[in-house]
Amino acid sequence: MLNNKIPPIIIVLFFAVLMAVIAHYSVIDFTTFIFYVAVILLTIGCIFCIAGVVSFRLAKTTVNPSKPDQASALVTTGVYKVSRNPMYVGFAFILAGWGVWLTSLWALLCVLGFICYLTWFQIIPEERALLKIFGQGYSDYKSRVKRWL
């Protein structure tokens, strides 16, 4: 025999009303949350980009991504211990922050498109050029550090 004498539909209605009352008096504004997540992602992105540029400048090598054959030093220190492409990682974080700010899942999916495009058309050709310039040193570096994160 059941101990519950109240029909389940009444329980559902009770909890539905309870939820409505709670929601009415405790509205959570996700605007602030979204703002902070977007700012955090943007900040992380800027840090990665700036750290990458600073590392290249300290090594006195080119920052120009369209001329990887002009690289004069293989940078493997600083942020380059975490990622072989910290500036591109930074750009991806910046785009992710923008996608969060736009509050659009479809916009966020564009970050994946950016990553795929950059990998195929920018990073892989850069890697071929760097392998020609730095040989085994670059090959060893590739085996220790991930392309993105």
pLDDT, tens only, 4-21: 677 778 888 998 999 888
What is the residue whose two structure tokens read 């910290």?
Answer: 86
Q: What is the pLDDT of residue 94?
A: 97
Q: What does pTM read for this prediction?
A: 0.83
Burial class (CB in 10 A: 0-12, 13-18, 19+), 30: exposed
Q: Tell me the average pLDDT of the chain.
A: 92
- Domain edges within the chain: 31-144
One-letter amino acid identity for 43? Answer: T
* Backbone φ, ψ for residue 118 (5° rounding): -65, -40
Share of the chain above pLDDT 70, in %: 97
How many C-alpha atoms does 119 have within 13 Å on its Cβ side? Answer: 12
pLDDT, tens only, 65-105: 888 889 999 999 999 999 999 999 999 999 999 999 999 98
Contact at 8 Å (CB) between 62 and 56? yes
26 pLDDT more than 90: no
